[in-house]
Amino acid sequence: MKKIMIVDDEKDICYIFQTFLKIKGYDVEVSYNSTDALNKVKAKRPDIIFLDLILPDFDGVELASRIRTGENLKNLKIYLFTVRKRGLIEGEKKLFNGTVQKPFDFNHILSILERN
């Protein structure tokens, strides 16, 4: 069973996304801020992370950067959750395996999970 982590400060989005993934049979962990997420990533080692760009303590780009520098964490699949249409700068793009636009499409989420 794939372990999925959702990192978003919007609790309603986390609840809906977590419920959907659990119904589909995934093991799901949720964090509402970057500090908690970083600790959980190190302890739980999820297979895939869906990460919001805007978080209360430090942003999703910084969190992805810290995850990528961690021992045995470099190859985690990280997908950026965002409502922003503006793209990331080139250095930031390398931190993510892809982007998921909010509001998200569950079929798109499932296709990501099937590919990984």
Per-residue pLDDT of the chain (116 residues; tens, 9 = 90+): 899 999 999 999 999 999 999 999 999 999 999 999 999 999 999 999 999 998 999 999 999 999 998 777 878 999 998 776 556 655 677 889 988 888 888 999 999 999 98
Q: What are the DSSP E strand ranges found in 8-63?
A: 27-31, 48-52
Q: State the pTM of this model.
A: 0.90
d(CA 36, CA 8): 11
Residue-level pLDDT at 101: 83
d(CA 56, CA 65): 16
d(CA 70, CA 76): 10
Q: Topology of domain 3-115, per CATH?
A: Rossmann fold (3.40.50)
Residue-level pLDDT at 94: 84
Contacts of 71 (CB under 8 A, 6+ apart): none
d(CA 28, CA 83): 22
Domain residue ranges of the chain, discontinuous segments joined by +: 3-115
